Structure 1
Amino acid sequence: MDSKKVWLVTGSSKGLGLALVKKLLQNGYSVAATSRNADALKKEVGYNGSEFLPLEMELTNNADVAKGVATIISTFGGIDVVVNNAGYGQLGTLEELTDAEARENFDVNVFGSLNVIRNVMPHYRRKKAGAFFNVSSIAGFLGTFPGWGIYNATKFAVAGFTEALSAEVKSMGITATIVYPGYFKTNFLLQGSLRGAANPIADYTEARELEVIHEQQIIGNQPGDPDKAAEAFIKAAEGESLPLHLFLGSDSFNMANAKIQAVQAYLAQYETLSKSTDYSS
């Protein structure tokens, strides 16, 4: 294990981000972590050493991100691993959510990560090395969760731009990994990390039923251990070859497998129709 690597973790005040920051510091890494409140983050992490740099960074402000990245590089001498983890869940069907609600979720979950990537890449290109771990969700691979459409779309976007990024930077010695967590026992499903629609519509039975399932059955019973997820991030980053797709949790793994099998069945069933659109030879 290379204890000298410098990590940047966004969205570190709670959940998987907080667990990862704590685990990294325990293992001797230098860590820059972002939150909306640096003092609160420092208190949550409980670490006062020079290897920890808590930062207040407005991820949706490109200039603020650029300033933060420059501070990290001047403090630690560089950045080796970036974990784009910041984001929040937005509940509501496509009809229920306003344009403003949808755009705000994209601003944080998608454009915030793009700002980080844009400002870290010049540093990575100069040294021809570096790794990105962009946190999507199993909802960024399997989208059939009623009432989660906009959130799903942000996480599919993360997966899509990360696939492109991996191809764009391959010859430079830089990697990009999509992380698809399942349900982990964090506060993601609690207020503050999950927002509801301002104007819900009663007709959406499936969406309301899934909300009740989350509130009454899933909260407190998530199968994923955040500390083990943190260990998985570190193990992946230290591997000789980094994966493009990384599913975290048995639930995420199983749901991904189920979708792949379903898509393969559709391909087989509609193969003739799919190929019927080609010009005749």
Structure 2
Amino acid sequence: MENKKIWFVTGASKGLGLSLVKKLLSEGYKVAATSRNISDLETAVGVNSDAFLPLAVNIKSEESVQEAIEKTIGTFGKIDVVVNNAGYGMLGGLEETTDQEARDNFEVNVFGSLNVIRKALPYLREQKSGHILNISSIGGFSGGFPGFGIYCATKFAVNGFSESLAEEVKPFGIKVTIVEPGYFRTNFLSEGSLVTPKNTIAEYQSIRDSQNMHQNSLDQQQAGDPEKAAAAMIAIANHPDAPINLFLGADAYQAAHQKIASVQKDLETWKELTTSTGF
């Protein structure tokens, strides 16, 4: 057990984060887990153990994140795996979404993760090891989902900075994996995890149809098993050749292939024009 990695997981009171924390604890790992509300976290995890460190954290606050990282190091001695899971969905058209609604989604999904990375890296660099798992989405690789423009934009940002981060920290023995799930049967589509704009525009029927489908038809009917997603993340964290991109779910696998094929088609169709722009 002493050789098992120490995990730090954000957004752990529900969704994939909760499934991951519960599975880690059941397998004998030591886990620091964060949520905005510590009582919700403790109730959801349902474990009272020296191996479980629940932390109330506002990931939008650098000071709050710093305190959580220091408390984890002080309790467990180190951190091996950082999982940036905290985030929420935004389902509304770009024209419908206010500037503040868009910024709020970026504040949590993008800048919250950057706060955690910034505060954890000094420790990971010093120990010359570590693994950062940034929970993105298939929507961070393919944006073809009406109504998910802002959410996809946040996850595209996560994908982008994660690829750069992987190169930056490689010399320190630190790995980075972007986890890109499809639909998993969590409460992600439920109230509190999926936000819709206050002001909607009736003309966007495709977006209303998407909202209705996600909130009424798809919720709790998703094909992905969160327990298996958690097992996959643990396996990747223990693999010496962990990938930069880890797609989870048959739907994510298919959507990724469709996006790759679409880009390849555009590349070849417009190759002559693309390559004609040099001096």
Normalised TM-score (structure 2)? 0.98
How far apart are the structure 2 equivalents of 1:133 and 1:19? Answer: 15
* Unaligned stretches of 5+ residues in structure 1: none
Partner of 1:240: 240
Map Cα deviations across residues 111-131 of structure 1 (whole Å, 9 max, x no partner): 000000000000011011000
In structure 2, the residue matched to 1:208 is 208
The aligned residue for residue 43 of structure 1 is: 43
| Superposition deviation, residue 242 in structure 1 | 1.1
Aligned to 2:116: 116
Residues 50-93 of structure 1 show CA distances to partners (whole Å, capped at 9, x for unaligned) of 00000001100001111110000000000000010000001111
Q: Which runs of 4+ in 1 moved over 3 A?
A: none
Counterparts of 2:278 and 2:182 in 1: how far apart (Å)? 39
| CA distance in 2 between partners of 1:2 and 1:27 (Å) | 13
Q: 2:164 corresponds to which residue?
A: 164
* Contact 1:58–1:65 (CA under 8 A) maintained in structure 2: yes
1:154 aligned residue: 154
Q: Kindly indicate whether the alpha-carbon contact (under 8 Å) linking 1:3 and 1:29 is maintained by their aligned counterparts in 2.
A: no
Structure 2 gaps of 5+ residues are: none
Q: Which residue of 2 aligns with 1:85?
A: 85
| Residue in 2 that maps onto 1:231 | 231
Count of aligned positions:
279
CA distance in 2, matches of 1:213, 1:39: 32
1:77 and 1:135 mapped to 2: Cα distance?
25
* Percent of aligned pairs with the same amino acid: 54
If the length of structure 1 is used for normalisation, what is the TM-score?
Answer: 0.97
Whole-Å separation in 2 of the counterparts to 1:113 and 1:101? 18
Matches for 1:1-281 after TM superposition, within 5 Å: 4-279=4-279
Shift in CA distance, 203/161, structure 1 to aligned 2, threshold 3 Å: same
RMSD: 1.0
C-alpha distance in 1, partners of 2:193/2:166? Answer: 28
How much has 1:215 moved relative to structure 2?
2.8
SS in 1 for 2:105: helix
CA distance in 2, matches of 1:156, 1:238: 26
User: Does the Cα contact within 8 Å between 1:3 and 1:27 map onto a contact in 2?
Assistant: no
Aligned partner letter, 1:192? G
Shift of 1:169: 0.6
CA displacement at 1:3 relative to structure 2: 5.2
- SS across alignment from 1:21: helix
Q: Out of 3-12 and 59-68, give the one that drifted further.
A: 3-12
What is the CA distance between 1:217 and its match in structure 2? 2.8
- After superposition, the C-alpha distances for 1:16-60 in whole angstroms (9 at most, x for unaligned) are 000000000001000000001112211111111100000001100
CA contact (8 A) 2:38 2:56 kept: yes
SS at match of 2:176: strand
Could you tell me how far 1:205 is from its partner in structure 2? Answer: 1.6
1:110-153 C-alpha deviation (Å, 9 max, x unpaired): 00000000000000110110000000000101101111111110
Give how far 1:220 is off: 2.2
Question: The residue matched to 1:169 in structure 2 has which SS?
Answer: helix
CA–CA distance in structure 1, aligned partners of residues 135 and 4 of structure 2: 23
Q: Distance in 1 between matches of 2:175 and 2:220?
A: 35
One-letter identity of the residue aligned with 1:243: P
Partners of 2:218 and 2:39 lie apart in 1 by 31
Partners of 1:210 and 1:2 in 2: CA distance: 48
Residues 141-171 of structure 1 deviation map (CA, whole Å, 9 limit, x = unaligned): 1101111111110000000000000000111
1:102 & 1:219 partners in 2: Cα distance?
23
CA distance in 1, matches of 2:2, 2:117: 23
Indicate the SS of the match to 1:176.
strand
